[in-house]
Amino acid sequence: MAILNNETQVSVFVGGFVGGLDHPECVNWGMDGYAYAGGEAGQIYRVDVRSGECEQIASTGGFVGGLAQDGSRNVYACSNGAVMRIAPDGAVDTYTTGTADEPLRVPNYPVFDGEGNLYVSDSGEWKQDDGCIYKVRPGGEASVWCRALTQFPNGLCLSPAGDFLYVVMSLNSPRIERIRIEPDGSAGEIEEVVQLPETVPDGLAFDTDGNLYISCYRPDRVYRLSPQGKLEILAEDFEGTVIAAPTNVAFCGEERDILLSANLGRWHLTRYEAGATGVALNYPVIP
């Protein structure tokens, strides 16, 4: 199905990619050549992007938010008020629950930097403006890294150079912010990137040209933001069938040229022919 938006004149081919998933919120590309997705009952799916086949490899026992993978092929899933670690053989353990004084409440999305630190958004309660961002050092020691972005922090991604953490703020008001990562690893200046009124943005991904892709839980839409600040609608689906509450978005495939979104409102992943190559993710080896 080709979706052409007259406002922005962006046209991409969009189609269902793989079905049989249980209302997936997340999709992530692994260093092992597979995409990964999670289901609302705790399912961890491994997806072959060449054939479109998928299999469940594990279960966390609870709703799965975002995913990341390390250099040993372990998958990290925000689930059950923790970051769970799923080994290649499907064994599941707890990587972190936050700190003793400030445990994770609604962990939503994890992203690794090149040194093995895992940034995790804790969204907090809906419309309570009590979220924050944790930093988990290699091995699982966690601390609250940024307290300033409280309005339901959601999806995360690093800038192509790794010097900023981009953060989706889903509420009050919906927008994208970025936090400078200082040389000592602390959180620095916070800058607003773009406002997204009357939306509920959720996921983020960069391509190698510096364009930022933003998927929205509401409406059924994916944006592309240029380095110059031009915001355009890459694809949308007013029927909510092919694109249905697209939460996370990720560049997948050996060449990272297959853009996929998860669809929390349906049972499949969606493929977009965006004509772009995604920035490579970090896959650190964690002790």
Assigned domain for 20 exists = yes
- Cα–Cα distance between 165 and 179 in angstroms, integer? 5
* pLDDT recorded at residue 2: 31
Rounded average pLDDT over 251-269: 96
Assigned domain for 257 exists = yes
Assigned domain for 282 exists = no
Rounded average pLDDT over 39-65: 96
How would residue 18 be classed by pLDDT, with cut points 50, 70 and 90? confident
Assigned domain for 141 exists = no
Total domains present in the chain: 1
Q: How would DSSP label each residue in the chain? A: -EEEETTTTEEEEEEEEE---SS---EEE-TTS-EEEE-TTSEEEEE-TTT--EEEEEE-SS-EEEEEE-TTS-EEEEETTEEEEE-TTS-EEEEE-B-SSSB-SSEEEEEE-TTS-EEEEE--STTS---EEEEE-TTS-EEEEE-S--S-EEEEEE-TTSSEEEEEE-SSS-EEEEEEE-TTS-EEEEEEEEE-TT-EEEEEEEBTTS-EEEEEEETTEEEEE-TT--EEEEEE-TTSSSS-SEEEEEEESTTS-EEEEEETTSSSEEEEE-S--BPPPP-PPP-
Rounded average pLDDT over 61-68: 98
* pLDDT recorded at residue 23: 97
Average pLDDT over the chain reads: 94
pTM greater than the 0.75 cutoff: yes
Rounded average pLDDT over 89-93: 98
- The per-residue pLDDT for range 160-210, each reduced to its tens digit, is 999 999 999 999 999 999 999 999 999 999 999 999 999 999 999 999 999
CB atoms within 10 A of CB 18: 23
Q: 62: domain CATH number?
A: 2.120.10.30
Assigned domain for 151 exists = no
- Cα–Cα distance between 67 and 283 in angstroms, integer? 12
Assigned domain for 195 exists = yes
Q: Which domain holds residue 48?
A: 2-96+156-273
Assigned domain for 192 exists = yes
Assigned domain for 134 exists = no
